[in-house]
Amino acid sequence: MITGDASYIKKMNRSLILKEILKEGMLSRADVSKATALTRATVSGQVADLLDEELVVEKEIEYNLVGRKPIMLSVNAEAGYAIGIDLEFDQISFAISNLQGSLVQSETMKLQATSYPDILSLLIAQIKHYQEGFAASRYGIIGIVIAIHGLVSTDEVIHYIPSFDWHDVPLKNDLEKALGLEVKLENNANLSAFAERVFFHHETDDLLSVTLYSGIGMGMMINHSFFRGQDGFAGEIGHMIVVPGGQPCNCGNKGCWEKYASETSVFQILRANKPEAEITYEQIERWIKDKDPEVTSVMEQFMYYLSIGLNNIINIYNPEVVVLDSELLRIYPDSLRAIESNLNSRVSHYREIKLSTIGKKSCSLGACAIAIQNFLQVPVLNLPYKG
């Protein structure tokens, strides 16, 4: 036997047990044994360790039949807390979740400055505040994951954030030195994709999440893992050219997808066409309900160009599920049917296209979920969505 085999197997069994308890919320020891195919003796030994570590708690449930009340196991939600941070172009959103993935606190701060020293100081101060606030729990803050709206390399160095004009910024190292905690950086679209799989699409191996707000980003889950590309920059799908020689883009090309099929593109057109109006989601929804011909035409064009890009990525990746995250699509009646009516290729194959239920919170929730997965060392994380 190779030295270390026993400890490795024990670690794998522990991960399997935690995975099943998290997925179901509550399980008896007998149910854990069935779900994992582990012997009852193995389960009992592992559960004893988890109880000692306060990662699992026991609870008797109401039972109307004769006999002992079943003792159920659940992950101790209050044993530790994860911090998910969404570093957006005009604000920073903070989310704190317990170990079951439920949000316990959230906060958004508008940015007054975008210089690296200013934002670094803000992050350090706020994270230290959360460290103090949750220090009474057994494990305190168990992980910090930050969503970056830009290019993050495989070694978690920020290569470029367009909205801040940051280049090659060592945010991870600077935060870890200041806080004494491990910090993880991840692309925002990847975290949105992770949240969609963790909280909703538990049986999906291959999922694409397309976010359509300020630009277009795509997170790719392939066999439960991120597809990153050679340097970690895969997913910049907004810069796929859909109109050769079209509108100039900041990336240096012309005719990029996000110039035609992002929410920003819709808002820009409506501001130009209706200069007297304040363009908000609520106003657009009113125009849609009133069947305003100008707004209807803009929305149809938006979905047409969106369909062109979706056709391309579906043919490239052949995903099970494509999740679209867009408030405009959520307020437009039958938007998915309108989009799918443009996907007519006989060679395009996918199982379903869905609108995101989580919306803009998917990024910070995905960040919390990554922290939970890393802390509990669960290979595949499935959590119930509690809104």
Divide the 387 residues of the chain into consecutive groups of 10 and give the mean pLDDT of each group: 71 94 92 94 94 93 65 95 94 96 95 92 97 96 95 89 89 95 93 95 91 91 84 84 94 94 96 94 97 96 96 91 96 94 80 92 95 94 87
Structure confidence at residue 64 (pLDDT): 60
Burial of 10 (0-12, 13-18, 19+ CB in 10 A): middle
**CA-to-CA distance for 189 and 195, rounded, in angstroms?**
10
Strand boundaries in the chain, DSSP class E:
27-28, 56-60, 71-75, 81-87, 91-98, 103-110, 141-148, 151-152, 158-161, 166-169, 183-187, 206-211, 217-222, 225-226, 321-325, 352-355
Query: In terms of DSSP H, where are the helices of 341-380?
Result: 362-376
Q: What pTM was computed for the model? A: 0.90
User: Residue 385 corresponds to which tokens in the numbers above?
Assistant: 């969505």
Structure confidence at residue 1 (pLDDT): 38
Tell me: do 116 and 221 sit in the same domain: no
Tell me: do 57 and 129 sit in the same domain: no
Tell me: do 168 and 312 sit in the same domain: no
* Domain end position, chosen among 55, 75, 95: 75
Tell me: do 215 and 351 sit in the same domain: yes
Structure confidence at residue 56 (pLDDT): 95
Structure confidence at residue 2 (pLDDT): 47
Query: Residue 368's domain spans which residues?
Result: 78-193+362-376
The candidate with the shortest Cα–Cα distance to 310, out of 360, 344, 334, is 344
Say which CATH number the domain at 51 has: 1.10.10.10
Q: Look at the chain and report how many structural domains it folds into.
A: 3
* Domain end position, chosen among 37, 58, 75: 75
Structure confidence at residue 63 (pLDDT): 61
**CA-to-CA distance for 304 and 339, rounded, in angstroms?**
7
